[in-house]
Amino acid sequence: MINLSMLALAAAVFFDSGRTGVASIEQSYQLLAPLMNRELASTLFGFTLLLAGLSSSIVGTMAGQVVMQGFVGFTIPIWLRRLLTMLPAIAVIMLGLPEQQVLVASQVVLSFGIPFALVPLIQFTARRGVMGNLVSRRWVTLLGCVVAGVIILLNGYVLAFELL
């Protein structure tokens, strides 16, 4: 919801003012500030970026915890789990890396992880022994396989033609 709100706000403000070539976070703030109250833009933009980052970190940490504890049976102390999930962001800040390139690279890396979660999810939800009465219908499983296949093909394309 936070990311959707940020996109909706940016789309409304930029489209109404005819600025459709915004390509970076820095540009979006610089263009947003004169179109709104500068102080409001700064506060709103910073707050939504903070919330987006926190929500992503929380979801990633919780998903990792569920997988590790529920499926693998491996647990680590919560303070260590939080530290490990925050280390990449801290490293980016401390090294002063260009945020736009890091953001794009992180999304590419995350997209390669999707099949590793999606394929087992499709398999688990299709098994009556695991899901009981809540087992996925055949068409849902088929649709999930098609979506997973498209994602895997797109990742293959990125790997073959964009990264090499």
Instruction: Assign 134 a pLDDT band (cuts: 50, 70, 90).
Output: very high
Instruction: Render pLDDT for 11-35 as a digit per residue (tens, 0 to 9).
Output: 777 777 776 666 666 666 666 677 6
Measured CA to CA in angstroms, residue 78 lies from 40, 47, 62, 75, 146 at distances of 36, 26, 10, 9, 36
pTM flag (> 0.85): no
Q: Could you tell me which of 32, 26, 37, 43 has the C-alpha nearest to residue 10?
A: 32
Instruction: Render pLDDT for 61-73 as a digit per residue (tens, 0 to 9).
Output: 777 777 777 766 7
Per-residue pLDDT at 116 = 81
Mean pLDDT (whole number) for 77-95: 82
